[in-house]
Amino acid sequence: MTIVVISVILAVAIIFAAAFFYVSKIISLPPKGRAVDYLANKLDNNKRIIACIGDSLTHGNIGASWVDQLRNEFPADIFLNEGINGDVVWQVHQRLEPILNSKPDIVILMIGSNDAMASFNSKSGERYKRNNNLLDIPTFQNYQKLLLKLLDKLSTIDKVFLCTLPPVGENRNSKINQHINMFNDFIKKTAQEKRIPLLPVSKCLWSDLALREFPYINDYNPNLIPLIRRIYGGVMHHYIFNHSWDKIARSKKQWILFDQIHLGERAANIVFKLVKKEISKK
């Protein structure tokens, strides 16, 4: 191997490493406009405060941000983005105090996708426990208990909207989506029993998936290497080459989920419209 070839390989490796660390820094940043920011800087107490609570699907820097769309649509309101990448429902409990202290008028709650993926198989569960410093591996049973407790803590808020969970992968009959259906059935049952308005995110996204212009090719793979490849490949194309999330999705024969998990612009717009319809009501 010549010195020129070695130099080229090293240069490519350095560029790739720099790109990896660049996007890693971006996606590690917390969302803008959190409850702690509002409490530290609040100037106008007459504005309506809307807290959007969840995980990366709400955070919106891995995929499109429906919270930012709401901010643009309702500039007179304050939107607290309390979506944190990778969070399970237990972690929402740990950071709830500043959200409650902000005294939101409305809460949009979409949490459970990571609980579902973590409880899908043992390797995923161990990975979530280790990476998120959890006390226990997430399970469906613990999710049920913790979601009910979370809703009890939010019961002092005038309006709480509970969202069903988006698909993971775009195969309706896959094992992961059968697993997520179990979570969504519980969410729907809970909303009904507690008389909490339900936002049918899952139903609306599946309806849009019925419009696919091409068949899906790859199903969801929960193993670490393909998971990292899908997520980081997508975020690199977005933040380095300025490709839209939907363009990245199409290149992978995905319709609404650019990496089989996170929302492209098309999917985020569906969530945005669902929330917009409800918070526009007087």
Q: Is there a domain that residue 238 lies in?
A: yes
- Whether 214 is covered by a domain: the verdict is yes
- Give the CATH number, domain containing residue 242: 3.40.50.1110
Separation CA 145–CA 147 (nearest Å): 6
Domains in the chain, number: 1
Residue 126 lies in a domain: yes
Please indicate, yes or no, if residue 101 is contained in any of the structural domains: yes
Q: Please give the pLDDT value at position 25.
A: 85
Cα 95 from chain centroid? 17
Would you state the pLDDT for residue 50? Answer: 98
Residue ranges in the chain assigned as alpha helix (H): 3-28, 35-41, 56-59, 66-73, 89-94, 96-101, 113-118, 122-131, 140-153, 175-194, 201-209, 224-239, 245-251, 265-279
Q: What is the pLDDT of residues 157-205, one digit of tens each?
A: 999 999 999 999 999 999 999 999 999 999 999 999 999 999 999 999 9
Pair 269, 68: CB distance under 8 Å: no
For 233-263, the pLDDT digits (tens) are 999 999 999 999 999 999 999 999 999 999 9
Residues in contact with 137: Cβ distance below 8 Å, sequence separation at least 6, in sequence order:
118, 119, 122, 125, 126, 128, 129
Q: What is the pTM of this model?
A: 0.94
Is 16 within the bounds of a domain?
no
The pLDDT value recorded for residue 11 is 64
- Is 15 part of a structural domain of the chain? no
The reply to whether 53 falls in a domain is yes
In a domain, 244, yes or no: yes
Range of the domain at 202: 31-279
